[in-house]
Structure 1
Amino acid sequence: MVPASPKKVTSTTYKAETLAIRTQTAPTHNREHSAPLYLTSSFTFENAEQARAVFAGEEEAHIYSRFSNPNASEFIQKMCLLEGTEDGFATASGMSSIFASLAPFLKKGDHLIACRSVFGNTHRIITEILPEWGVDYTYVDIDQLETWEAAIQPNTKMLFAETPSNPALDFIDLEWLGKLTKKHNILLNIDNCFATPYLQRPSDYGADLVVHSATKWIDGQGRVLGGLVLGKKELVAKVYAFARRTGPSISPFNAWILSKSLETLAVRMERHCDNAYALASYLEHHPEIESVKYPHLPSHPQFDLAKRQMKLGGGLFTCIVKGGLERGRRFLDALELLSLTANLGDTRTIATHPASTTHSKLSTTDREAVGILDGLIRFSVGLEHLDDLINDINQALEKSK
């Protein structure tokens, strides 16, 4: 992997907020204050000998933007500093990062353990694509720890989990899981998309790989796609080799956008979390709401774990509107300010019906097993004024009666 040659900043010198801002690609002769875009497919060599040395691995240099690019390298370095990992690789989307964190490490005859609560397309990779390659899997309930160790087989190579999960917002004890995987010499792969490294660092608990859909909170404005696989250097080397050959690399432009987005991650997540907590707290006592689930509300069944594991409660919560599926649909249609889209992690607050969108490919039985009821609505809370969010939801609840 090619370093971004940033200024000399380290995780022991500065706080995360500073690292996200001050880690930059070394300036060119123009001495630009903000890193420029490197919109090039390839990079030149000074001479034939340098080209030979670079391809032989004797000298580090950018070769081709499918392999590495200064914008991607800067983005990766920032995320490694924030997540506390040794290395990383940036991909074209969140799903390509999930796939790139699985494919290089699982072969025919291997076994994967995963939490039952995973994103819809992650579920399809695990249950449809990997079995075609001869990779077996076992699903376990995220909050039933005894089932994880019981599921381990002699050929188990990896444990994969989302915490908090999508969209049920369930948790698994990362400290316990880290100890379990070390005990059995199994790779621990954690999807940290919902929390971001500002709220939670899985590597602190022993995660070998950390994956992100950077499309979400990392970008934070619904502009570009991107993903990351972060972890130990020797593991990322396998991800890099896989991605170099198969091509799911991030574009320089998207990497540039996402690297700049990290400069405001801390302040954005503070506001997202404040708004989400306040809105969830308000709706928890609303007469038209059946139930609310938010990690840092005492009513969350894993409240103590969520408080211990996450710095703040995150920008997502779910609720069930009284009146069932049809009432829920009428409520969504009555919203005037909130957006109806399958994305999350935007400056704009989003309402989503997972059962008919993001998790529609799961059977009703599979959805209900992870708490995705037909009337469940997921809110990704944005940065708008809280009063406006409350007013829009109130008028939609009134109109949908």
Structure 2
Amino acid sequence: MSQTIYGLNTICTHIGEIKDEQFKGAVSPIYMSTSYEFENVDVKRYPRYFNTPNQEFTSKKIAALEHAEAGMLFGSGMAAISTVFLAFLKHGDHIVVQNTLYGGTSNFIREEFPKYGIEFTFTDGYEVADFEAAIRPNTKLIHIETPSNPLLTITDIKAVVDLAKSKNLITTIDNTFASPVNQNPIDFGIDIVMHSATKYLGGHSDILAGAVACSDAHMKIIWNVAKNLGGSLSDLTVWLLERSMKTLALRVKAQNRNAKKLAKYLSNHDAVKQVYYPGLKSHPQYDLAKSQMKGFGGMMSFELADGLDAMAFQKELQLIKSSMSLAGVESTVLSPHKTSHSLLSQDERDAIGVSDNLIRFSVGIESNKDLIADLEQAINKVKNA
């Protein structure tokens, strides 16, 4: 089935499905075997080689959604990120990393790269000049994340790509917050796109997975390292991911609409100090976000006004869950300084603007009126405490 002639919802529904030739079922069969014949077969299948039937076909859906030649699934988003980095970086190499990104990625770089003799520089900001200033003679790769976690900063993808190409550098991006529905970095020239598939691709807060999409040439390099590191995942999880991705576009577009309405509500509230959402015209990079995103996403962050207790506020929520992770169909909030960025020091968090009063808000598909009512009652309780 050619992906080029189909729309987004059709790709989500049909690309990467396995035809049930025996019983003619409407959904992909699941192949749980960890042992396959090796003689007289077209493909020697082995789970750690990322080529079981469910892994192979679901990877096609990932590739189609990201406009890439190839896709690969991993046991987690960090398994995907760490494998890609180790595939293209060796002792003596240098990587330029955006300073505003997922805390787990930052922690992996700071803790593991020195063991391998890999040098790294976190940029001072997220403008293209910040990336250029960090490049060294031994730089091999530039890594970005846009929108970023948790402050929703926007990096100019095309500008970074142009800089990298002028220096013959590889570019990678964490596209988790945007999802393929809202942003396709490969269209702007990015070499390798990575996802925590636990988030929007899975979308139901019940699976753990990661994904990579890129060219066939880059994927061969990634696979050669991936098979040695062993970050593959169960075919039951792969089947659940393929099932979940059928509604990806529907879910994300509903979350986009809800998030924009809630961002406007919060930005006008006297109990809220600041809202970080690229879909607000007040966002300093609104025009840039609009130029490279098809939708502004379901993620935002906001800071409560001084004197209001962010943790007490979360405890008062009745519909919105105070919970780790993000991008499920249910709305959730958390404090980044206690979760996603807890591995960073206080000084490191302060440097990137992650305050103790910052709340990350993953907007779900509930009625926006119900979500607003829940936020309002929780704010009133902490104001009157």
Normalised by the length of structure 1, the TM-score is 0.92
One-letter amino acid of the structure 1 residue matched with residue 58 of structure 2: F
Structure 1 residue 246 corresponds to structure 2 residue 239: no
Instruction: State the superposition RMSD in angstroms.
Output: 1.3
- On the 8 A contact 1:142/1:171 being kept in 2, the answer is no
Structure 2 counterpart of 1:369: 351
Structure 2 counterpart of 1:300: 283
Structure 2 counterpart of 1:204: 187
Question: 1:30-66: CA deviations, max 9, x gaps?
Answer: 2222101111102124xx4x2xxx6xxxxx4142122
Q: How far apart are the structure 1 equivalents of 2:226 and 2:139? A: 23
- On the 8 A contact 2:32/2:236 being kept in 1, the answer is yes
Structure 2 counterpart of 1:98: 81
Deviation at 1:213, TM superposition (A): 0.2
One-letter amino acid of the structure 1 residue matched with residue 7 of structure 2: K
Structure 2 counterpart of 1:89: 72
How many residues are matched? 381
Structure 1 residue 346 corresponds to structure 2 residue 343: no
The equivalent position to 1:26 in structure 2, one of 8, 19, 44, is 19
Deviation at 1:142, TM superposition (A): 4.3
One-letter amino acid of the structure 1 residue matched with residue 19 of structure 2: A
Q: Secondary structure at the match of 1:66?
A: helix
Structure 1 residue 236 corresponds to structure 2 residue 219: yes
Structure 2 counterpart of 1:43: 36
Q: Secondary structure at the match of 1:210?
A: strand
Deviation at 1:323, TM superposition (A): 2.9
Structure 1 residue 63 corresponds to structure 2 residue 56: no
Structure 2 counterpart of 1:273: 256
Q: How far apart are the structure 2 equivalents of 1:19 and 1:283? A: 35
Question: 1:292-320: CA deviations, max 9, x gaps?
Answer: 11111011111111111111110011111
Q: How far apart are the structure 2 equivalents of 1:306 and 1:279? A: 18
Deviation at 1:364, TM superposition (A): 1.8
- Identical-residue share of aligned pairs (%): 37
The equivalent position to 2:7 in structure 1, one of 15, 21, 30, is 15
- On the 8 A contact 1:293/1:299 being kept in 2, the answer is no
Q: How far apart are the structure 2 equivalents of 1:311 and 1:75? A: 24
Structure 2 counterpart of 1:389: 371
Q: Secondary structure at the match of 2:48?
A: coil
Normalised by the length of structure 2, the TM-score is 0.96
| Structure 2: runs of 5 or more not aligned | none
Structure 1 residue 187 corresponds to structure 2 residue 179: no
Q: How far apart are the structure 2 equivalents of 1:250 and 1:40? A: 13
- On the 8 A contact 1:315/1:382 being kept in 2, the answer is yes
Question: 1:112-138: CA deviations, max 9, x gaps?
Answer: 000011211111111110111000000
- On the 8 A contact 1:169/1:294 being kept in 2, the answer is yes
Structure 2 counterpart of 1:148: 131
Q: How far apart are the structure 2 equivalents of 1:15 and 1:254? A: 26
Question: 1:365-389: CA deviations, max 9, x gaps?
Answer: 2112222111100100001111111
| Structure 1: runs of 5 or more not aligned | 1-7, 55-59
The equivalent position to 2:319 in structure 1, one of 323, 337, 354, is 337
